[in-house]
Amino acid sequence: MRPSTIALCLSLFATGGCAILHTPPPPGTSVTIEPESPSEGAEWRTVARPEDQQRIDAIDARWHAAIDALPHSLRPPTAADRQLLDPQAARPLVALPPGGYECRRIRLGGWAKLTRFKPDTCYVKLDGNKLSYTTQTGRLMPGGWLYPDSDTRQVLLATDRPAGVQVAPAYGVEAKRDLIGVIERLGPLRWRLTIPRDDELDVWEITPWPKQKLED
């Protein structure tokens, strides 16, 4: 194991635990994320555009509005989905360890109010002392860098990579493709990524890729 990976896992262990993922990346095209040049390593508010900062600041209000607008017939029937869509469900953060994950998306808002999608695969990679996140399958494939924010969340500055495109441009290069979201932990080996859009919230449940072996 590389020294940088060991250091990351030791820091994660000190805050609640670390899972070492012992498989190659899940199936999908290898993706390269271009680094942010002048502001690489900067705190996320120095990188994010002002309108995206506002989206993050308003995300709690967006959560509550989307849940309140759900008709009773669309309320999540399972405890797992109720927690996934609970704005207050975040626990003290243990960062996503590098490795492969299954990502299941639920969209809140829009004309349908709630839409479920089949699971996709995503991957977290350690590059130096930074973590990148990419979704590798599906129609919506955000990819970007994770930044610290608080003791319960990280901020993802990403771009929407179309299918078939192998290099994801850096956040800030094409405003129409920029995405911003938050990563929160819901429980042991379970996280969520929330990406606000114009009148929708995309909520991804992130759990270890089913075929990989975990070692506590």
* pTM of the model as a whole: 0.77
The per-residue pLDDT for 140 is 80
Confidence (pLDDT) at 2: 42
Can you read off the two tokens belonging to residue 62?
């967006």
**What is the reported pLDDT for 12?**
39
Query: What pLDDT was estimated at residue 57?
Result: 92
Residues of the chain with pLDDT under 50: 1-42, 213-216
Q: What is the model's pLDDT at position 7?
A: 41
**pLDDT, position 31:** 43
Confidence (pLDDT) at 106: 92
- pLDDT at residue 175 in the model: 87
pLDDT of residue 8: 40
**What pLDDT is recorded for position 146?**
95
Q: Note whether 155 and 147 are within 8 A (CB).
A: yes
